[in-house]
Amino acid sequence: MSQTRETECPECSGQLNADGTETVCSRCGLVVDEYRIDHGPEWRSFADDEGQPERTGAPLTQSRHDRGLSTDIGRSTRIKGRKRRRLSRMRTQHNRAQISTKRERNQVYAFTEIRRLVGALELPRHVRESACSLFRSAQDADLLRGRSLEGFASATVYATCRVCSVSRTVGEVVDAAKATENEHRAAYRALNRELDVATGPIHPVEYVPRYASELDVCASVRRRAESYARDLRESGDATGRNPSGVAAACLYTAAHDTGAPLTQEAAAEVAGVTPVTVRNTYRLLQD
């Protein structure tokens, strides 16, 4: 199969016309060339990013029970009558066939709750993926028996935040979750005990920008509070203290030093701690 393009017919010297994948002589009808190579891109970009092309379908994700490999029967308003009802029945059967075991049904429910939590807490995508992967590990270790699925959903999100140093407190996660605090703590203890999740304490500096934004303090107060938080962490004085309370105390101290209007009650409320916690860390910073 030749890929050369000629300008004249080799038989009658007539003019050649390209019609689809064939080059045909307009005078005698001789098919001179048959060119079937598609010069279009062999990949599709699902993120509108030319630098990261995808050769196949959508990327795999841990936040789906089938990792995003299954297909869906779409909907169309142009289909009417009997065909539309038939497609509706096919869609129902297709959705039922996607979940064949109780394990997959639990994953669908838990992953839906994890995605909702991540959205409510405004967490990045990698937290969602890691939390779903941690839930799979807990399910493989048979930790879900007799425990709440909602509790494990919130516990995996909180544990992932601890591992990734994302500033979210237990109270914030529980308030946004469907699980109670007892269910959350029971699931979190099981994760730590059986899976040995590397959840270290979050640096108080991670809380400062978010609290500073909620308290509407200036940039100079935020920078000074971050400096106080680093000094406390490096000296070891923050060990054993609530990092959220330490961040609130550092903000209050920085505001007090610069003359900014900020009370201990306001700083404690945004951090979810008591004014006594803020006051104790403030005295430590003064000393």
What's the 3-state SS for 94-116? HHHHHCCCHHHHHHHHHHHHHHH
Question: Which residues, in sequence order, are bridge partners of residue 23?
Answer: 18, 33
Letter string b/e over residues 78-100, b meaning 16 or more CB atoms within 10 A of that residue's CB = eeeeeeeeebeeeeeeeeeeebe
Give the type of residue at 62.
Q
CA distances from 72 to 15, 85, 237 (A): 49, 16, 55
- How far, in Å, CA of 128 to CA of 156, rounded? 9
3-class DSSP state for residue 33?
strand
Whether the Cβ atoms of residue 241 and residue 281 lie closer than 8 Å to each other: yes
Residue recorded with tokens 């701690």: 273
The pLDDT assigned to 135 comes to 92
Residue-wise pLDDT tens for the chain (287 aa)? 344 456 788 888 888 887 777 888 888 888 888 776 666 665 655 555 555 555 555 667 776 766 666 777 777 777 788 888 888 888 888 777 777 788 888 888 999 999 999 999 989 889 999 999 999 999 889 898 888 899 999 999 999 988 888 888 888 899 999 999 999 999 999 988 888 887 777 788 888 888 888 888 888 888 988 888 888 888 887 777 888 888 888 998 888 888 888 888 888 888 888 889 888 888 888 87
- How far, in Å, CA of 284 to CA of 248, rounded? 13
Q: What secondary structure, in 3-state letters, does the chain show? A: CCCCCCCECCCCCCEEEEECCEEEECCCCCEEEECCCCCCCCCECCCCCCCCCECCCCCCCCCCCCCCCCCCCCCCCCCCHHHHHHHHHHHHHHHHHHCCCHHHHHHHHHHHHHHHHHHHCCCCHHHHHHHHHHHHHHHHCCCCCCCCHHHHHHHHHHHHHHHCCCCCCHHHHHHHCCCCHHHHHHHHHHHHHHHCCCCCCCCHHHCHHHHHHHHCCCHHHHHHHHHHHHHHHHHCCCCCCCHHHHHHHHHHHHHHHHCCCCCHHHHHHHHCCCHHHHHHHHHHHHC
Half-sphere exposure in the Cβ direction for 102 (13 Å, CA): 4
Furthest-apart CA atoms within the chain: distance in Å = 103
The pLDDT assigned to 158 comes to 92
The pLDDT assigned to 199 comes to 72
